[in-house]
């Protein structure tokens, strides 16, 4: 009996046997029969397996083995993609043809310098080359290839990181592979993953087990056997037919157990196959496809350059600027002479002469700076010469063409090509302040230009070959250097045939030699900063293949903030090039190999010895680290090969810094990280501190710093017309300066908005007059209010104005009238009289401290009050009540809320717009709110009460005559605003927006789903998104917030 129970038929207990009249002997016989039954023997095994399987399932969750959710689909997509190799091969052949033509063009460009007859052939080859490149690019799907390659490589990187747990290893993708190899590796990986998934897929194994059990159950039903063991005694011949099904169940149990017992699937994951496939795909797309994309981009750049070369250099701008400069120079000379004569006459007491002096001085100040125009000419001429050098080199040998751009000799040609030549600058244009370094071959002067800016003017005697060589070598070197730690050239001009002049910034901090003497107790941090700056300058210099050859404290200049700048490049030499003249450096700082005269070529190591001596002086008497002391000794080594490079010195333990990109501020000349300021489009850099001061200055009344409507400011370089973007300024300056900048921009916007409002008002009134077909009397009233009552205009000539620059003494743009911004009173043609009136004007608001200046927001409010007073007075003068009502009704939609509230009366407190809702439920709710508003003494427009006759006219009149519009928001209402619907929801909403603007509309949310304003769409989001709404989503909230609705309506 126990065996019987053990076989799974525990429900055949003792009572059951008694109830079936089976005694002990019968039970024993029954158990023996069951044991002998083959089906039940299989069931015995299955029961044991089922118990084991149940335990295994409990220990491991049902899951499907997967390396990455993107893996299968991504590689399946790659397997089905087209082979791009044909595109690559086609491009290679086309590029080879292009390269051949490019080489032919290069050869002809050299030939035309000496053989003008080759010019037509050169031009034709260039046109053919352009056509070939255009044809090649038209066939090459660069964008499609790049997007595809970027998508594949980015996905490979992500899969590599996510699956292999490490960044993509480019070394693994080093070999150049073919598309076929990529496909083969991918197919191998897919098959390996498929087998791996099958081994670890518990879901599939469980599904097979379930299927086998279902087949067994279906077979028992088909055979008519009850699912009990007792019945197998009744149908022994049929139960034998279940053996196969039971065996299938047995095999399914074993298979699922094997899967569950495998443990962590990642233990045998085919990661090597995944790595190989990813590496192949990564390699193919980075080294083959992206290589083609890069070559296509290069072809595009070549095409851009060649297309420009299809036309000869345009010299019109150069000639125009030259003529303008010449005219202004002559005019300035005449004015200076006339002014001197007028001043002499004025000293004799002639009133007419005194008046003439004022006029001449003003005229002289209005003449644009010749220096600025000369800088424009310098850049324009350099562009033309660069164009000729690249595309039409024969022009550089054409004296007639060169003279057309005022290049008269090889010297000016060289300087013009460098973009440095100042054509009209002369030494007498600069006031000499001090002689900084007298020398027989050159002079170094501290000077001031006509704009009051300080410069260093170096003049070289070019008749002497030694100094002529130094002049051109220095200019050429500095022209190609763009380093914040190296002195920059402002411009170069020829005083005459024998004197060349270089204009450089004057650095207020003096030179390092003087600073060391004057600051014996300077802190170590400052000394370190100077040392790092000096080494950075040498790093930039040596990177260009140049050697300074005279590094000493006297040649290191300091900006106001002690940023070091390397200067005096008289002895600069090219690296590893035979010296053309002896060096004239200071012996103390000269490298031993130069002192001994045993080298004929200079290396950068000579500068490193010099800087070692400079650093020794800089850190003298300072408590320095052993690392700093060791570095200085290494730099001063007698063996050039033992001296660290500038980069190695920066990275040395003494400093441990990397070269970083810094820029020199155009205002203070100090060096800053590029992240600590902003550049203009020409790269002129302004530091954060100077920018902050400039923004603060621009916010002051009558500021000379110009800020445009978008917040941009003109570059502070005197010869630059570019603007620094407002967005860059806003990100760079502190919060308080950002607020000041925002105030300036807001003033621009408000002035523009005021002007636009005036224009729109006139247009809308004109449209209303045409639309309503009013009688002549009403039309005349509307016209008068529009043109005389509401318009802010000159009190004398009625010219409308909307601009305001901060000063309340206004000047009409159309007539000589001066008038007060507070009361618009005509004060005559005298500016002083107007300022006196403004200072004591009784219409000025209380609390205005400045007698003459005010914020635009304050003045605008004063204009509102003025308009209100005028409008009240005018409306009171209309005797006919019907005409007055018509005028008010027509005007109301066109006036700003502040004017309307002060002058016009409303018929209704609120207009209620809503959707009908499902079975009118929403309409019923709004009806209850309407009743509650009326009980609170509010006059409302509700369609259930007011809608009669012409529906559109009634709705429009209701909105026009309502103080506020209450918008009851549901999802259906929002949908109708998007689509229109078959009722008037959208018409009501858009009319309310047009007449009242969103500021006079009150959103009331009725559904919880609409509380998230990010879900609002269409006109609802556009007009009311971000506005404060009232929450009526539950009965409790309706009671709590109803008082808020009353307040909003009454505001």
721 and 704 share one domain? yes
Q: What is the mean pLDDT of residues 280-308?
A: 84
- Domain end among 369, 397, 424: 424
State whether 538 and 580 are in the same domain. Answer: yes
**Domain co-membership, 498 together with 520:** no
The answer to whether position 717 is within a domain reads yes
Strand, helix or coil at 1005? strand
Over range 881-886, report the average pLDDT.
Answer: 77
Of 617, 632, 660, which residue sits at a domain end? 660
Residue 307 lies in a domain: no
Structural domain range at position 526: 509-660
pLDDT in tens, 826-849: 998 887 788 888 888 888 888 787
pLDDT score of 60: 59
pLDDT at 79: 84
Q: What is the mean pLDDT of residues 101-119?
A: 92
The verdict on 850 and 876 lying in the same domain is yes
Higher-scoring residue by pLDDT: 24, 358: 358
Residue 480 lies in a domain: yes
pLDDT, position 513: 94
The most confident of the ranges 451-455, 709-713, 749-753 is 451-455
Please state whether beta strands 499-505 and 962-969 pair in parallel, antiparallel, or not at all (unpaired): unpaired
| Residues 417 and 518 both lie in one domain | no
CATH number of the CATH domain containing 928: 3.40.50.10140
Residue with tokens 């005007």: 891
Per-residue burial over 39-64, b if 16 or more Cβ lie within 10 Å, else e, is bbebbbebeebbeebeebbeeeeeee
Whether 518 and 651 map to the same domain: the answer is yes
**What is residue 11's predicted lDDT score, i.e. its pLDDT?**
37
Q: Which two tokens stand for residue 337?
A: 């002479």
Q: How far apart are CA 168 and CA 155, in angstroms?
A: 11
How much is the pLDDT for 554?
Answer: 93
Helix (H) or strand (E) holding 455: strand 454-461
Nearest alpha carbon to residue 492 among 479, 482, 481: 479
CB atoms within 10 A of CB 1040: 12
Based on the domain organization, do 914 and 1026 belong to the same domain?
yes
User: How far apart, in Å, are the Cα atoms of 732 and each of 682, 695, 780?
Assistant: 18, 11, 54
The pLDDT of residue 252: 67
For residues 182 and 165, give the distance between their C-alpha atoms in angstroms, rounded to a whole number.
Answer: 22
956 and 991 Cβ atoms separated by less than 8 Å: yes
The Cα–Cα gap between 513 and 463 comes to 32
Q: Is residue 706 part of a domain?
A: yes
Q: Are 298 and 102 in contact (CB under 8 A)?
A: no
Which has the closest alpha carbon to 710: 722, 698, 723, 697? Answer: 723
| 493 and 522 assigned to the same domain | no
Q: What is the pLDDT of residue 58?
A: 60
Using the structure block, give the residue that is written with the tokens 């490149």.
133
Q: Is residue 337 part of a domain?
A: yes
Assess whether pLDDT exceeds 60 at residue 483: yes
- Provide the pLDDT for residue 912: 93
What confidence tier does 1032 reach under pLDDT thresholds 50, 70, 90?
very high
Asked if residue 766 has pLDDT above 90, the reply is: no
Q: Where are the alpha helices (DSSP H) in 309-350?
A: 316-347
Kindly state the average pLDDT of the residues 169-183.
71
For residue range 215-235, list pLDDT tens digits in order: 767 776 776 655 544 444 444
Q: What is the pLDDT of residues 800-826, one digit of tens each?
A: 775 676 788 888 877 888 899 888 889
SS3 13: coil
Question: End-to-end alpha-carbon separation of the chain, Å?
Answer: 92
244 within a domain of the structure (yes/no):
no
Query: How confident is the model at residue 119, as a pLDDT?
Result: 93
pLDDT of residue 757: 59
858 and 937 fall within a common domain: no
pLDDT tens figures, 918-962: 888 899 999 999 999 989 888 898 987 776 667 787 888 788 788
Q: How many CB atoms neighbour CB 512 within 10 A?
A: 24
Q: Are residues 348 and 418 in the same domain?
A: yes
Domain count within the chain: 7
Instruction: Residue 445: give its domain's CATH number.
Output: 3.30.200.20
**Average pLDDT over the chain, rounded to an integer:** 79
CATH of the domain at 622: 1.10.510.10
Give the separation between CA 478 and CA 567, rounded to whole angstroms: 10
Clarify whether residues 513 and 655 are in a common domain: yes
Predicted confidence band of residue 581 (pLDDT cuts 50, 70, 90): low
Q: How large a percentage of the chain has pLDDT more than 70? A: 78
In a domain, 997, yes or no: yes
Are 860 and 979 in the same domain? Answer: no
Give whichever of 195-199, 453-457, 735-739 has the largest mean pLDDT.
453-457
Q: Tell if the pTM clears 0.85, that is, is over it.
A: no
* Span 39-90, pLDDT tens digits: 455 555 666 666 665 666 665 555 566 778 888 888 888 888 878 877 778 8
Instruction: Out of 11-20, 22-31, 293-302, 500-509, give the one with best mean pLDDT.
Output: 500-509
Choice between 268 and 630, residue whose per-residue pLDDT is larger: 630
Domain boundary (478, 506, 534) is at: 506
**1031 C-beta neighbours (distance < 10 Å), count:** 16
> 151 in a domain, yes or no?
no
């Amino acid at each position: 009996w126990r065996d019987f129970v053990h076989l799974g038929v525990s429900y055949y207990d003792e009572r059951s046997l008694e109830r079936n009249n089976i005694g002990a002997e019968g039970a024993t016989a029954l158990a023996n029969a069951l044991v002998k039954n083959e089906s039940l023997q299989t069931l015995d095994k299955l029961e044991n397996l089922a118990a084991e399987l149940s335990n295994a399932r409990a220990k491991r969750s049902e899951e499907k083995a997967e390396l990455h959710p993107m893996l299968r689909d991504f590689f399946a997509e790659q397997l089905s993609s087209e082979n791009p190799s044909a595109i690559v091969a086609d491009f290679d052949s086309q590029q080879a043809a292009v390269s051949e033509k490019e080489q032919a063009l290069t050869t002809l460009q050299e030939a035309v310098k000496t053989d003008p007859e080759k010019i037509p052939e050169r031009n034709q080859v260039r046109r053919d080359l352009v056509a070939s490149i255009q044809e090649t690019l038209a066939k090459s799907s660069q964008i499609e290839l790049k997007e595809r390659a970027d998508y594949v490589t980015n996905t490979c990187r992500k899969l590599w990181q996510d699956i292999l747990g490490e960044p993509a290893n480019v070394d693994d993708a080093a070999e150049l592979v073919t598309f076929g190899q990529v496909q083969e590796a991918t197919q191998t990986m897919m098959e390996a993953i498929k087998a791996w998934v099958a081994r670890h897929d518990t879901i599939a194994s469980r599904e097979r087990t379930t299927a086998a059990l279902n087949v067994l159950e279906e077979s028992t039903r088909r055979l008519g056997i009850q699912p009990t063991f007792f019945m197998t005694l009744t149908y022994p011949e049929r139960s034998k037919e279940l053996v196969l099904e039971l065996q299938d169940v047995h095999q399914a149990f074993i298979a699922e157990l094997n899967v569950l017992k495998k443990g962590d699937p990642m233990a045998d994951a085919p990661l090597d196959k995944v790595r190989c496939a990813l590496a192949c795909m990564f390699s193919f797309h980075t080294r083959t496809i992206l290589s083609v994309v890069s070559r296509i981009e290069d072809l595009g750049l070549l095409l851009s350059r060649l297309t420009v070369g299809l036309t000869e250099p345009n010299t019109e701008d150069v000639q125009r600027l030259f003529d303008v400069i010449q005219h202004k120079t002559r005019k300035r000379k005449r004015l200076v002479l006339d002014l001197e004569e007028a001043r002499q006459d004025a000293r004799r007491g002639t009133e007419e002469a005194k008046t003439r002096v004022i006029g001449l001085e003003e005229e002289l100040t209005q003449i644009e700076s010749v220096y600025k125009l000369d800088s424009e000419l310098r850049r324009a001429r350099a562009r033309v010469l660069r164009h000729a050098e690249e595309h039409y080199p024969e022009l550089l040998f054409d004296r007639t063409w060169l003279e057309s751009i005022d290049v008269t000799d090889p010297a000016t040609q060289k300087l013009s090509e460098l973009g440095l030549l100042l054509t009209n600058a002369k030494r007498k244009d600069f006031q000499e302040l001090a002689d900084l370094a007298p020398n027989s071959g050159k002079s170094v002067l501290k000077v001031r230009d006509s704009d009051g800016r300080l410069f260093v003017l170096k003049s070289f005697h070019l008749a002497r070959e030694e100094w002529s060589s130094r002049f051109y070598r220095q200019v050429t070197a500095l022209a190609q250097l763009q380093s914040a730690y190296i002195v920059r050239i402002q411009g170069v001009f020829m005083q005459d045939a024998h004197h060349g002049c270089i204009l450089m910034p004057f650095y207020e901090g003096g030179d390092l030699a003087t600073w060391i003497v004057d600051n014996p107790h300077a802190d170590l941090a400052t000394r370190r900063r100077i040392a790092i700056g000096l080494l950075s300058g040498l790093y930039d210099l040596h990177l260009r293949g140049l050697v300074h050859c005279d590094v000493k404290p006297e040649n290191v200049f300091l900006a106001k903030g002690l940023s070091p700048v390397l200067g005096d490049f008289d002895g600069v030499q090219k690296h590893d090039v035979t010296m053309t003249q002896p060096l004239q450096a200071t012996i103390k700082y000269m490298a031993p190999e130069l002192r001994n005269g045993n080298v004929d070529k200079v290396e950068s190591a000579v500068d490193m010895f010099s800087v070692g001596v400079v650093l020794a002086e800089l850190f003298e008497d300072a408590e320095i680290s052993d690392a700093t002391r060791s570095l200085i000794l290494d730099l001063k080594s007698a063996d050039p090969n033992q001296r660290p490079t500038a980069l190695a010195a920066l990275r040395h333990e003494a400093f441990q810094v990397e070269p970083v990109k810094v820029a020199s501020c155009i205002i203070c000349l100090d060096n800053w990280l590029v992240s600590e300021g902003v550049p203009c489009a020409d790269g002129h850099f302004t530091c954060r501190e100077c920018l902050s001061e400039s923004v603060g200055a621009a916010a002051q009344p009558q500021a000379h710093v110009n800020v445009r409507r978008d917040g941009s400011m003109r570059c502070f370089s005197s010869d630059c017309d570019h603007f620094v973007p407002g967005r860059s300024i806003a990100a760079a300056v502190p919060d308080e300066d950002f607020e000041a900048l925002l105030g300036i921009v807001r003033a621009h916007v408000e002035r523009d908005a005021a002007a636009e409002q005036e224009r729109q008002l006139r247009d809308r009134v004109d449209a209303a007059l045409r639309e309503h077909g009013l009688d002549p009397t009403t039309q005349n009233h509307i016209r008068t209010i529009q043109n005389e009552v509401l318009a802010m205009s000159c009190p004398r000539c009625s010219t409308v104005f909307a601009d305001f620059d901060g000063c309340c003494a206004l000047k009409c743009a159309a007539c000589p009238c001066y008038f007060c911004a507070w009361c618009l009173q005509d004060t005559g043609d005298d500016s002083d009289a107007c300022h006196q009136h403004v200072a004591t004007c009784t219409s000025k608001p209380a609390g205005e401290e400045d007698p003459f200046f005010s914020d635009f927001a304050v003045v605008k409010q004063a204009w509102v009050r003025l308009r209100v007073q005028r409008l009240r007075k005018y409306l009171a003068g209309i005797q006919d009540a019907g005409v007055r009502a018509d005028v008010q009704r027509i005007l109301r939609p066109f006036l700003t809320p502040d004017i309307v509230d002060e002058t016009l009366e409303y018929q209704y407190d609120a207009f209620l717009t809503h959707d009908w809702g499902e079975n009118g439920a929403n309409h019923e709710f709004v009806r209850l709110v309407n009743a509650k508003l009326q009980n609170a003494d509010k006059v409302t427009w509700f369609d259930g009460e007011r809608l009669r006759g012409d529906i559109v006219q009634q709705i429009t009149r209701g909105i026009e005559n309502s103080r506020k519009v209450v918008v009851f928001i549901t999802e259906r209402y929002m949908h109708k605003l998007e689509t229109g619907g078959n009722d008037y929801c959208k018409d009501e909403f858009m009319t309310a927006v047009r007449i009242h603007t969103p500021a006079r509309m009150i959103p009331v949310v009725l559904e919880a789903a609409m509380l998230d304003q990010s879900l609002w769409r269409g006109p609802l989001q556009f007009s009311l998104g971000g506005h404060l709404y009232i929450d009526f989503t539950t009965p409790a909230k309706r009671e709590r917030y109803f008082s808020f609705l009353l307040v909003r309506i009454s505001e």
